[in-house]
Amino acid sequence: MSTILIVEDEVILREVMKDYLLEDGYQVLEAGDGKKALELVKETGVDLIILDIMLPEMDGWSVCKRIRKESDVPIIMLTARSDEDDTLMGFELGADDYVTKPYSPPILLARVKRLLQTRQLRVQADTSLTCGSITIHFPSRTVTVDGAPCSLTHTEFEMLAYLMKNRGIIITREQLITKIWGYDYIGDDRTINSHIRNLRAKLGEHAGHIVTVVRSGYKFEEHP
């Protein structure tokens, strides 16, 4: 049974989300501020976090940034603003999905399920995959570059694994969206651009393995 952490200072909204998640069989933890959220993440094993941006004392962006230093747990950020810059900020800090208030609880639940499925059903026959200096270790969901650990978010890991498994093949943005978020994804391909940019930054001098194919998508080249 997966454990979901809801970080939301508005009690009524938190209770609505909690009821939907409990009804669907999830265990739920709650936090009304960023400090409490960080304590729960450190003390308990959560499988996904629903994180509001507007929190007292420490905003959601700061909480997300702190969590990403130690964990790749999937994070869905909530905001009352539809500003594109806010959305990009969330992705750049490592969020996996972004939902604007007011939102439909069933849609939020569907996104929770999708992120958990891509994480939980990633059972691989092979324990690792190496291309050039990059190695993916599937059981531990870790990545090493030149033998050194490379910390990736849940979504960055999924993208890199998908591209490496299909190395030499052009993968469209639509294929990436379907693979990572599913057919019911609501958004545009700028989300993909943001995650690819973050992934390349983390790969450093090996970022050239991920090649942009104009008007088509991306391709992982073993020898860039």
User: The pTM is what?
Assistant: 0.62
**Could you read off the pLDDT of 96-154 as tens digits, one per residue?**
888 888 888 888 999 999 888 877 655 444 578 898 899 998 888 899 999 999 999 98
**Could you read off the pLDDT of 12-37 as tens digits, one per residue?**
999 999 999 999 999 999 999 999 99
**Could you read off the pLDDT of 161-178 as tens digits, one per residue?**
999 999 989 999 888 888
The structural domains of the chain, ordered by start, are 3-116 (3.40.50.2300), 128-220 (1.10.10.10)
Question: Helix/strand/coil (H, E, C) string of the chain?
Answer: CCEEEEECCCHHHHHHHHHHHHHCCCEEEEECCHHHHHHHHHHCCCCEEEEECCCCCCCHHHHHHHHHCCCCCCEEEEECCCCHHHHHHHHHCCCCEEEECCCCHHHHHHHHHHHHHHHHCCCCCCCEEEECCEEEECCCCEEEECCEEECCCHHHHHHHHHHHHCCCCCEEHHHHHHHHCCCCCCCCCHHHHHHHHHHHHHHHHHHHHEEEECCCEEEECCCC
